[in-house]
Structure 1
Amino acid sequence: MLRAIIVDDEPLSIKRLNRLLSESGEIETCHTFRNPLEACEFAQANPVDVAFLDISMPELDGMTLSGLLQELDSSTDIVFVTAHDEYAVRAFEASALDYLLKPVTAERMAKTLDKLRKKRGSAAAGPSLSVFLFGGLKLCRSGMEQETIRLRSPKTEELFAFLMTRRAVSREEIVETLWSGLETDKALKNLNSTLYYIRKAIGAVQAGDCIEAGRHEIRIADSGVSCDLYEFERLLKQIRSAPEPSADWFRQAEALYTGEFLKGKAYEWASGQTRRLEEQYIELLEAAARFHIELNQPQKSLRYFGEILKLDAIREDISHEVIRLYTELGRKHEAFRQYELLEQLLLQELGTRPDPRIQAFIAKLKS
């Protein structure tokens, strides 16, 4: 059963669509909105399988809203509903599942739901390829037992990693990044042959599911591949936008970050993203630690703060939090030990002493 939303500024249109979906027997819940911004806020905190969007709406049109919903959850299917058929081409360019003309009939809605059922049915079988970008680069063919896939050469690995990271990228940008020293024609030939070897390694069927190679652009289809990076970014977005994040979300996101992004691969184009992802991971750990402080769970907070210090040992503010938590738990010896470690590290690395506020806290604790 599916979870749907209807967004339309016309009450009669909402009523008709809601009735058709209710009578179909395939929709578990259906929430309706006349204000697109309210629909977007709802989707930030609630899973949505399919969104029926009117294209022509004041304040925020359906095309723009579809982009916002896809940013929140790329698995949400979009169905545009409008009285004007000149929007059809734009709708399908926006990767909509379907396009309905008002007034929508039961027969036409049945066709849309059939498309949705078939797509969801194939997706339920799971992606054909699993890709891991944290801690290195690893490809696995999905099945009862994951089978590791080995790519032909370092350049083949780099192209695949670049495509997975960018998700959608022009052929021009690819050759400028990976074959910048070659003439354009030769670089494009290298791109085509390298892409061929990727397809050969993955397998024609699996590659067709996840790599969409057009004349000007190559993109990765989310439905054909599972990727730790994509899931990590999705969870981060979910945690940031939710009024009350879940402890499970923090655990899941932490488990996905199994090491530095593309560890062991010295790709110049990836260096900025490597730093950004590590910063986001540290922000996630800090948010998780403070989340558990609010729940009065200091032991869990200590673990998250400890993970931060493994990555950035001279974070004085985090060391101060650890010292404070140890003190509250009656573990003064460990509080003093944490201070001594910080003091030694700052002296060795920066030639400085801890922040006066930390010194004062320790002095008061000793008195």
Structure 2
Amino acid sequence: MLRAIIVDDEELSVKRLKRLLSESKDIETCHTFMNPLEAYEYAKSSPVDVAFLDISMPELDGMALSGLLLDLDNAMDIVFVTGHDEYALQAFDASALDYLLKPVTAERLDKTLAKIRKNRGYTAAEPALSVFLFNGLRLCRSRKGQETIRLRSPKTEELFAFLMFRRAISREEIVDTLWSDLETDKALKNLNSTLYYIRKAIGSGQTGDCIEAGRHEIRIAESSLYCDLYEFERLLKQIRSAPEPSADLFKRAEVLYTGEFLKGKSYEWASEQTRRLEQDYIELLEAAARFHIGIHQPQQSLRYFCEILKLDAIREDISHEVIRLYTELGRKHEAFQQYRLLEQSLQQELGTRPDPRVEDFIMKLMR
């Protein structure tokens, strides 16, 4: 993993870039400096793999600072970050690995980190444990789902799922949630024995390192495993913060949601999270559909809207969009079919009829 520094005299830019870097699994530590001389003093005594430098700074600009840093360690990767694209050629003349234009986006930063990995001749290590929480609960020793790990009992499954869901939680809250019917001492013993069986199943010397059990708290070491939920939430955050999300980001997030969170497991503590994640997924599909409308790809937009209706058949606004898109694509018969489905769903579920605006649209289509 990489040790990074950010040097910029604009506080908001520093905070934004540090947040984006903290969401990357490539970065181990990230120190920030608003004074370039302080950054230089730090680099004299501390190892730095990559330096993100603003170009325009008082006293010592990024170009000059990059020279000083490379004198200390010519293997250091320099990435310039600035609000002025006229510095691009100058940046590469200064042996910069890359050049980022403010405001930095997560998608663009990913490309920079990929360049750094390539330059250093390594790829991100494949986690020894993969955990899938959508459409059930599944543990595997590879990302491709090979060599499934089976846990000892339903209670070991529930404890592991609860730890993955909460990520860090006190022992007290665990026993209050999973063993509320037992006395405290017995509940804590059950927790310890159940935790032992989980670690035994996943291998405490290897993948078991993903569970950090302290005296008062148990924590999941997220960097030591892959989890579809964690990746889904990371991509959602990236999409929401990006000024212009890409079709690829939407697609990557969509394919992760393979089914309901912990489907088939009737855990009371998971019910609210299940509803929230389904709503997040629906919002993702709608954003993707409207993104494709904006770039004039009605067929792709139609697919996303239809996925929403599989989960919420009485969304009249979405049905109207589907009817409109079918019409735009010259598929009037399917537009009428969609209207009939909406009519039936509303009558069965709510005892109502479609919005008059949808009915008017259909009547005009029939003329």
Bin the TM-score by the shorter chain.
Answer: 0.7 to 0.9
On the 8 A contact 1:135/1:261 being kept in 2, the answer is yes
Change (3 A) 1:355 1:216: same
Q: Provide the C-alpha distance between the structure 2 equivalents of 1:276 and 1:209, rounded to a whole number of angstroms.
A: 29
SS for the counterpart of 1:345 is helix
Alignment of structure 1 residues 141-156 onto 2, 5 Å: 141-142=141-142, 146-156=146-156
Q: State the Cα deviation string for residues 73-105 of structure 1 (Å, max 9, x = none).
A: 4653324468xxxxxxxxxxxxxxxxx998335
Between the aligned partners of 2:121 and 2:223, the Cα distance in structure 1 is 12
Q: Secondary structure at the match of 1:77?
A: strand
TM-score (norm 2): 0.75
Shift of 1:3: 9.4
Shift in CA distance, 178/2, structure 1 to aligned 2, threshold 3 Å: closer
CA separation of 1:157/1:270 partners in 2, compared to 1, >3 Å: closer, same or farther? same
1:308 CA displacement: 0.4
Deviations 1:296-334 (A, max 9, x none): 000001100010000001100000000011111121111
> Cα gap change, 1:343/1:266 in structure 2, threshold over 3 Å: closer, same or farther?
same
Unpaired runs of 5+ residues, structure 1, are 8-32, 44-50, 52-67, 83-99
Aligned counterpart, 1:200: 200
What is the CA–CA distance in structure 1 between the aligned matches of 2:220 and 2:45, rounded to whole Å? 34
Structure 2 unmatched runs, 5+: 51-72, 76-115
**Within 1, Cα distance between the matches of 2:172 and 2:284?**
35
Given that 2:235 and 2:249 are in contact with CA atoms closer than 8 Å, whether structure 1 keeps it comes out as: yes
Q: 1:181 to 1:145 in 2, by over 3 A?
A: closer
Q: Is the 8 A contact 1:69 1:76 kept in 2?
A: no
Equivalent position to 1:77, from 28, 43, 61: 28
Is 1:327 equivalent to 2:321 in the alignment?
A: no
Aligned to 2:85: none
2:42 paired residue among 98, 101, 104: 104
Q: Which residue of 2 aligns with 1:58?
A: none
Change (3 A) 1:136 1:173: same
Is 2:222 the partner of 1:271? no
Counting matched residue pairs gives 299
SS of residue paired to 2:46: helix
Where does residue 224 of structure 2 map in the other structure? 224
Question: C-alpha separation between the residues in 2 aligned to 1:212 and 1:270?
Answer: 22
**Identity among equivalent pairs (%):** 72
**2:65 aligned partner:** none
For residues 196 and 291 of structure 1, the distance between their equivalents in structure 2, rounded to whole angstroms, comes to: 48
| Distance verdict in 2 for CA 1:215–1:342, change over 3 Å | same
One-letter code of the match for 1:285?
Answer: L
SS of the residue 1:265 aligns to: coil
Q: 2:11 aligns with which of 25, 36, 42?
A: 36
* Secondary structure, aligned partner of 2:165: helix
Distance 1:145 1:352 in 2: 45
- Residue 81 to residue 341, structure 1, CA distance change in 2 (3 Å): closer
| TM-score, with structure 1 as normaliser | 0.75
**3-state secondary structure, aligned to 1:104:** helix
Three-state SS of the structure 1 residue aligned to 2:152 is: coil
- Amino acid in structure 1 at the alignment position of 2:10: N
Q: Which residue of 1 aligns with 2:251?
A: 251
CA contact (8 A) 1:261 1:274 kept: yes
After superposition, residues 1-367 of structure 1 pair within 5 angstroms as 4-7=4-7, 33-41=8-16, 43=17, 68-69=19-20, 72-73=23-24, 75-80=26-31, 103-104=41-42, 106-109=44-47, 124-142=124-142, 146-367=146-367
Distance of aligned partners of 1:290 and 1:145 in 2 relative to their CA distance in 1, 3 Å threshold: closer
Q: Please say if residues 5 and 48 of structure 2, whose CA atoms lie closer than 8 Å, have aligned partners that are also in contact.
A: no
Is contact 2:5-2:31 (8 Å) kept? no
**Displacement of 1:36 after TM fit?**
2.8
Deviation at 1:206, TM superposition (A): 2.7
For residues 122 and 144 of structure 1, the distance between their equivalents in structure 2, rounded to whole angstroms, comes to 21
Q: Give the letter for the 2:125 counterpart.
A: A
Amino acid paired to 1:109 = P
Contact 1:209 1:221 in 2 (8 A): yes
Q: Secondary structure at the match of 1:78?
A: strand
Contact 2:6 2:30 survives alignment (8 Å): no
Report the CA distance shift for 1:145/1:131 in structure 2 as closer, same or farther (over 3 A): closer
Pair 323,203 (structure 1): closer, same or farther in 2 beyond 3 Å: same
Once superposed, what is the RMSD of the aligned Cα atoms? 3.0
